[in-house]
Structure 1
């Protein structure tokens, strides 16, 4: 152990101690150090030396009284109190600039906190489930015509194979149906709710928080676990346990548990009940028949791996679990199916889309986080600009302080205290604004974010946030202002050289570059959404309703429903289909046609429909005709879309025969018509080849499509339609969806990006203009005498306005020139992920730049014209 005082502590003392006291104080401290080495040991002596230098504690053995050299203890509470007192006086003295600094920083902080909470909500997705780090979904990777595809639906026998031969890798293997809408009935109450049929270990694996009952509730094959909100809707305040209810009016189940509603940042948040998987199997014969069918991919399998292994190791182990069991199924072997695990912590941020990992959620997290940081940085730039701009006003103060013994370190501390006071006031104001804006922000971003008042890490982050923001905002002004030389200042020599304005100009350019880039990005996102919305969809969405036939009560009642509904005059047509209009629910291969090439093995979208489907949805025919009850042969007829015609390579496919091998059976169909492509999936992607047919092959229709009479208003039609449904199927809730609303929901993600970008862009412009207003105000104040002289010499108001505005206009024009290539690069890259996309037109940059210039002129002109209108006599008397 060294016996010399710490060198770093001595340097610290030299920097902060007043020069005329340094030698005396240092001598006393060294003497004290030697005494401590002898009596307490070198380690304790060095620690006490640091303590005494920092001044947080008064030295016990120094002979002189601390009051004889008070300037030494720069970090004492008394000195901090003085610094903040001076800072408060300075803020009150310059109320206008204080308001701009505090208000601008508060707005920047609100954006930063909101974006931080949003990012945390995204990063903590699925963490509600205690074992989420070891939960995964079983997926299959296949190659089709050279294209790699990923599917989270697996064949039934794969689940059996994993349990039989790979169980040692897993703590739980849970087989599940797809999530779907089901009718839940309890007494007179009936609601359509989303649920899943899962094996008994699912509640334990997902660590559901049980309010009533336990995780073992699904052991009974006729049980059901329901969410707290569903229990309230069905049973009110009655104890829900052991209550009997029905699923789809036919499956009797007993409530064996009620679990807490899952949060929005869980992938299972919209699941309102879990029922036994065996119950679903017993109710669906086609599922039981698929127990050994490796062709039919329809199940979900969730697993929890053992703590002693990892996802990569298990994925390698189960990779060939399907391939080695499909035998001589040549088409399946050619696809080379590979089984792997997709971890739960990647479900949200790294989902699969179009044969690859979709980077959009991760990019969105980075984007929001970066924008929040940039907006806060813009607010900090205002503080830096206004502080340095007012440097001449404080030059004499700095000179006098240095002349009476203050060192640079003391001045830095003083200016930092002002910075931290502004940051603290801004933080408290930001929290007030946060309380008022959080609900609105949640609606905008489709979140349920709340302030984590009881989270210690949150408050630790807030303290760190205040510290970093204070350093960020106060570093440059503190070192800049404290560097003035007292001799020059007190002699009246201008201490601000011509290069001092350069950083300020650079920061203004940076501010407006960010703001203009955000505005351009907002316009591009809006145009992309509108471009896709205006895309021809190939059918008529307006006045078209969809109703799910989730109960056997609909069986055999399609014709009577059609007749009764048309008799009301409110409905022009009704049809049945095996899927909703806004999504493709079935994809199949095994089709053969004349001239088919060996490599053509693409899956076709397939949809069973009734004869009136085309009239109901408004098919647009290119060739051929629609289905008709007049022709008995139409039961073996099909209608295809243009994408299917092009893929098949048929010039005139009407009348052509197409064979379809489904499972062990082969059916033959004749093409009777070709329709324009119908946009049923993503409006940003090409339409898939599709086939529509009458004869059910793989199930029966489960959706009703109702076309409201265009001459009848929706408000008049809906009560009439509901009355018919209650009369014919009274046990089923009248739960409908407008096709137009369902289609518009496909734009929610992009619209949300656009709204968030607009929100951030508006605040960025506001903060930038606030800073510009402050700078313009200061420049006008600084040049008051010059303006008076110019007016006496005959200068016009317009001339003075031009004089004061031109520098700011030049800076904004430069910002626009920089932001144009930056925004074009990033937005063009964003658009490339869409097959169906708009173009970035030149006028977007022109209009945005003119708008930025207009806002700048409005902001600056107020102060410029105000200064130009002042009586020159008053201006020249100002000093």
Structure 2
């Protein structure tokens, strides 16, 4: 019977080549998109699922509340781990780690030198008690001693390529030219998806030999994202109870954290399975993955798959009238309805199987095309990833059933007596085509939603990148100084060298750039004689050239000078208004207290500028100079380029030469400020890419279906078209006749989707404190675009049918 099904299926495929081709292509696109999306989503949702007792492992993170506004840090204060070990119950094990990047030297006859090696961590035996690794040599016991290091197998082979793991024990690894360690163990790195990618584990006790790190780790007040803390709870413990104990520990050593004056700090337990996705805290050493984006991907995959299935259902049910006699004869010869359903489902299965095979072949190509958007860690290998094969098989079964069941049900319902007596109407049993029309409307509604969403996101990105942010962003380069090279004399020598370059307009030494993803702030107070106004004041540090380079407008008062290191500051108009000054200039000369002893005088007012992306509102801001030892960024304004456009390239080369002469051991890592502004909207640009991709595919699939329906409609009405032409109908009239119904369906989809799109995108736009308007032309472009696309698609077949010779059309009868 299966063999017979296969023969009949091949016969029908040959008979309806074009419609079969459309079905295969549509399903191939939908299935390949679903496979790629599955690879991306599966990759991210499998992070750190393999750890033993994973449900009891947590990272301790820090929550802040400044003036009613929450802030988050993935790190903890350096003193917390010891206090937890001694004073908190219900914790089976706890492990502090401190992340670093160092240059690495491997002494010996063939010395190996590596710069800026990431994923180096200070840890001790407790870390390996929580996270289970396979030991290839040595053990974690020695990590409780000074100057010991455990290496991952792949990193060990980089350092000692000619030695066995056992022979590596006792060898020397030098970090940052000063931390001389001895290899005490080799581990097998995790092969599963994980955020724990550490490969050099320096013994935690070694921190005590580093003056700066020792000072950081000895404080209760300082929180650093590099100082992370993992705990494993006992089976009987609960998160709430542990967090309450952490709160008591904090108040014991920092009694001022009780939430007075809108300032409050809390420690919280973050579940292991939340680390990869929580954007408030980020992952271990990288940014977190946006979970709503993954859910959006899944929805897009389902939509594209649904569009392909809709095509199949539409075209198959539309073909119904051409197979009525076949069904009537088969029923007369004794075929049961169940056998007919089996025949039609098997045909769908064969089409879907072909589509799945094509899709599997397309996946590597799609991954390559979208390599800029998809993580390089996402791989495709059927042999080593059986879950992909399983997913493909599930798709094969599900898509075959969804696409084939309704058409099979409709076609097998026909009554043979009516069919053979020519008393059967093509619309009988198909609900007078209502389902086909509904599915067509649904198809184009989905496509138009993607078009509108793409236009809205693109408009917001354009607005963010072209809006006047309150500062200049073009032709400015900044260079971050390595934290260990904060010598004031070297900084001044570098500035003098750069100032002498003909391509450089101005140089400034300061802190962070005006707009970035980071922030620094203080709780400050202002006393006007009647009341005290306390608020959180954000700040940037810079010398007198800082506001000149970035062209931040000085509205009143004077600019800061280097001699103002501890006495004066500029404030923005937002902070002036918070202090109660309607005219910001009236704030000049007033004092702001940073604590009981430190105060600064307001000497100037600058215009408001955006300190972060447009997601955040403009905050109260101060700009003041600091001691040169604590200002860690060079800001360089370049002169306009000449006609050849080589001035900036020359300038960068000269700046690099000056850098190497002063900081020979440090990489020259420069950034153009305007590019860093673009980087603030990486997530939105990824969303835009994703929507553009989905829009193109959804429109293409929908148009394939529309073209297929047009082909079927014109074939069914061949005789009618011939008669009308003989009676004098023009080509325009016939094209209009054939296109009207389908165009009406496309227009109806536009009417339905407009309010849905507006609500969805309005909600998305609420994530921006400063956002563009929701323009009417977005809907106009979407409607007009899909209307003319549909018309263009239909015109291929309708014009062909309209200009055909009516003699041939009538003779075919």
TM-score, with normalisation over the residues of structure 2?
0.89
Q: Does 1:533 align with 2:458?
A: no
In the alignment, which of 342, 347, 351 is matched to residue 275 of structure 2? 347
Deviation of the 1:116 alpha carbon: 2.0
Deviation of the 1:371 alpha carbon: 1.6
Count residues in correspondence: 789
Shifted more, 281-290 versus 644-653: the winner is 281-290
Deviation of the 1:359 alpha carbon: 12
* 3-state DSSP of counterpart to 1:320: helix
Deviation of the 1:235 alpha carbon: 7.4
Tell me the equivalent position of 2:147: 222
Q: Does 1:473 align with 2:395?
A: no
Shifted more, 460-469 versus 377-386: the winner is 460-469
Shifted more, 785-794 versus 193-202: the winner is 193-202
Structure with max Cα Rg:
1
**For 2:65 and 2:87, how far apart are their aligned partners in 1?**
25
Tell me the equivalent position of 2:343: 414
In the alignment, which of 550, 554, 561 is matched to residue 482 of structure 2? 550
* 3-state DSSP of counterpart to 1:161: helix
Q: CA RMSD in A?
A: 3.3
Q: Which runs of 5+ in 2 are unaligned?
A: none
* 3-state DSSP of counterpart to 2:601: strand
Alignment of 1:600-679 (within 5 A): 600-628=533-561, 632-633=563-564, 636-650=567-581, 651=584, 652-661=586-595, 666-679=597-610
Distance 1:644 1:203, change over 3 A: farther
| Equivalent residues of 2:92, 2:234 under 8 A apart | yes
In the alignment, which of 89, 101, 104 is matched to residue 23 of structure 2? 101
Deviation of the 1:286 alpha carbon: 7.7
Tell me the equivalent position of 1:824: 758
1:217-260, CA deviations, whole angstroms, 9 ceiling, x for partnerless residues? 74453345667787788778788956655544444445666777
1:740-762, CA deviations, whole angstroms, 9 ceiling, x for partnerless residues? 22221111111101111111111
Alignment of 1:556-635 (within 5 A): 556-579=489-512, 582-583=515-516, 585=518, 587-595=520-528, 600-628=533-561, 632-633=563-564
1:510-552, CA deviations, whole angstroms, 9 ceiling, x for partnerless residues? 1001111111111111111111222333333323333332264
| Equivalent residues of 1:788, 1:875 under 8 A apart | yes
In the alignment, which of 701, 706, 709 is matched to residue 772 of structure 1? 706
Distance 1:209 1:762, change over 3 A: farther
**For 1:365 and 1:859, how far apart are their aligned partners in 2?**
33
Tell me the equivalent position of 1:521: 453
Tell me the equivalent position of 2:246: 318
Tell me the equivalent position of 1:432: 361
Shifted more, 414-423 versus 204-213: the winner is 204-213
In the alignment, which of 367, 385, 392 is matched to residue 321 of structure 2? 392
Tell me the equivalent position of 1:127: 49
| Equivalent residues of 1:195, 1:274 under 8 A apart | no
| Equivalent residues of 2:539, 2:622 under 8 A apart | yes
Deviation of the 1:584 alpha carbon: 6.4
In the alignment, which of 669, 678, 687 is matched to residue 735 of structure 1? 669
Shifted more, 646-655 versus 239-248: the winner is 239-248
Q: Does 1:704 align with 2:634?
A: yes
In the alignment, which of 283, 290, 293 is matched to residue 361 of structure 1? 290
Distance 1:694 1:387, change over 3 A: same
In the alignment, which of 676, 679, 683 is matched to residue 745 of structure 1? 679
**For 2:319 and 2:476, how far apart are their aligned partners in 1?**
65
In the alignment, which of 20, 28, 37 is matched to residue 115 of structure 1? 37
1:829-853, CA deviations, whole angstroms, 9 ceiling, x for partnerless residues? 1111221222211111111001001
In the alignment, which of 186, 191, 210 is matched to residue 115 of structure 2? 191
Tell me the equivalent position of 1:507: 439
**For 1:249 and 1:551, how far apart are their aligned partners in 2?**
15
Distance 1:416 1:124, change over 3 A: same
Distance 1:581 1:218, change over 3 A: farther
Tell me the equivalent position of 1:682: 613
Tell me the equivalent position of 1:170: 91
| Equivalent residues of 1:197, 1:275 under 8 A apart | yes
Tell me the equivalent position of 1:304: 232
**For 2:307 and 2:448, how far apart are their aligned partners in 1?**
13
1:461-511, CA deviations, whole angstroms, 9 ceiling, x for partnerless residues? 322221111110001110100111111111112332364311111110010
**For 1:687 and 1:218, how far apart are their aligned partners in 2?**
47
| Equivalent residues of 1:323, 1:333 under 8 A apart | no
| Equivalent residues of 2:75, 2:223 under 8 A apart | no
1:604-661, CA deviations, whole angstroms, 9 ceiling, x for partnerless residues? 22333344333344433222232335xx456522222333323333432222222322
Distance 1:553 1:161, change over 3 A: closer
| Equivalent residues of 2:73, 2:281 under 8 A apart | no
**For 2:604 and 2:186, how far apart are their aligned partners in 1?**
52
Deviation of the 1:123 alpha carbon: 1.9
Distance 1:382 1:820, change over 3 A: same
Tell me the equivalent position of 2:127: 202
Q: Does 1:383 align with 2:312?
A: yes
Distance 1:448 1:735, change over 3 A: same
Distance 1:716 1:447, change over 3 A: same
Deviation of the 1:296 alpha carbon: 5.9
Distance 1:688 1:238, change over 3 A: farther
**For 1:261 and 1:544, how far apart are their aligned partners in 2?**
42
**For 1:348 and 1:359, how far apart are their aligned partners in 2?**
5
1:323-354, CA deviations, whole angstroms, 9 ceiling, x for partnerless residues? 34434666669756443211121123344389
Alignment of 1:7-18 (within 5 A): none
**For 1:173 and 1:601, how far apart are their aligned partners in 2?**
38
Tell me the equivalent position of 2:795: 861
Distance 1:551 1:316, change over 3 A: closer
TM-score, with normalisation over the residues of structure 1?
0.82
Distance 1:587 1:564, change over 3 A: closer
| Equivalent residues of 1:173, 1:304 under 8 A apart | yes
Distance 1:289 1:274, change over 3 A: closer
Distance 1:523 1:702, change over 3 A: same
**For 1:599 and 1:232, how far apart are their aligned partners in 2?**
62
In the alignment, which of 653, 668, 671 is matched to residue 719 of structure 1? 653
1:577-609, CA deviations, whole angstroms, 9 ceiling, x for partnerless residues? 344555365534342323299785433223333
**For 2:271 and 2:514, how far apart are their aligned partners in 1?**
32
**For 1:755 and 1:248, how far apart are their aligned partners in 2?**
41
